[in-house]
Amino acid sequence: MIAEDRLARAFLESHPARATMTLEQMPVPRAAAVLRAVAPDSAARVMSVMTVPYAAACLAHLAAGDAAAIVARLPIDDAAAIVRGLEADRRDPLLAALPAEAREPITRVLPYPPGTAGAVMDPSIFQLPDDVLVADARVRLARSARGLLYYLYIVDREQRLVGVLDIPELMLARARDPVSAAMHRDVARLTVGMPVTLVRDHPGWQEYHAMPVVDDEGRLLGAIRYQALRRLEREASDRGPDPARLTAGALAELFELETTGLVAGIAATTSPGPDLDRPVGTSDEDLDRPVGTSDEDPNAE
């Protein structure tokens, strides 16, 4: 791998938001080729910052196996939102190519209507029965990895949400007590059919960084992370011209090269440290000069 390619991949990994601004200015097939050229972990970090329609369009230009390798590394709520944006002829092969542990939670949220809490929730959350002893709960917690949030949701034997506690509270509770003795019973919650506009405005976000989602009977179905909420806010905002995006657009036009050269170009125009946004070879004087001017006197003969 040439040095420029290594630099480009490091840039995509370290600055996914800036890489995304550049990629989203490119034609979708070209951006998809860039995502295919980097490691799936790096591509997933970039795709998690993209708007859902653009991310879905990129996936549609990838082979099912390549797309699945990226989707499997996304948070479940991001993955479900992006997969939902695919046409059935693209979505079904991608789902078939996913490992079961990634496919199952995605398929659980796809039936919920777009624009509802159910459509953007993460169903892979850690939950405990209310009659489990604290000692047993700690063992279960230690075995859990995927879907573990800071909050532990407590349900009764009918799967109804009855309480919540955080991990430090569980560790400090008496080992022989049931978790119901340590949990908080007043739990802010979202209903599965709640429009995302109301989800964003829910007062519970002032206190929690994740909120549980329940059905009409109060059964726990999943949770929405604050990060997912911020993504909804970004996509709902009507922003004016963004100087960073305008710069990204100029970069996309500048590097009309093959995929490898394009990736290298993205990285080569960015240097680490405080001057990350300074193009290579420019000076402070260059940065102060209005765009389109040069050292030559425009009035000279």
**Tens place of pLDDT per residue across the chain (301 aa):** 455 556 666 777 777 778 788 888 889 999 898 898 888 998 998 898 888 889 999 999 999 999 999 999 998 888 988 998 899 999 999 999 999 989 999 999 999 988 899 988 888 888 899 999 999 999 988 887 555 667 899 999 999 999 999 999 999 999 999 999 999 999 999 999 999 889 988 999 988 889 999 999 999 999 998 877 777 666 666 444 444 444 444 444 433 334 444 454 444 443 344 343 344 344 444 444 444 444 444 444 4
**Residue 61: other Cβ atoms inside 10 A:** 18
Residue 207 burial by Cβ neighbours in a 10 Å radius (0-12, 13-18, 19+)? exposed
Cα angle 99, 235, 125 (rounded to 5 degrees) comes to: 40
Considering the entire predicted model, what is its pTM? 0.63
CB 35 within 8 A of CB 58: yes
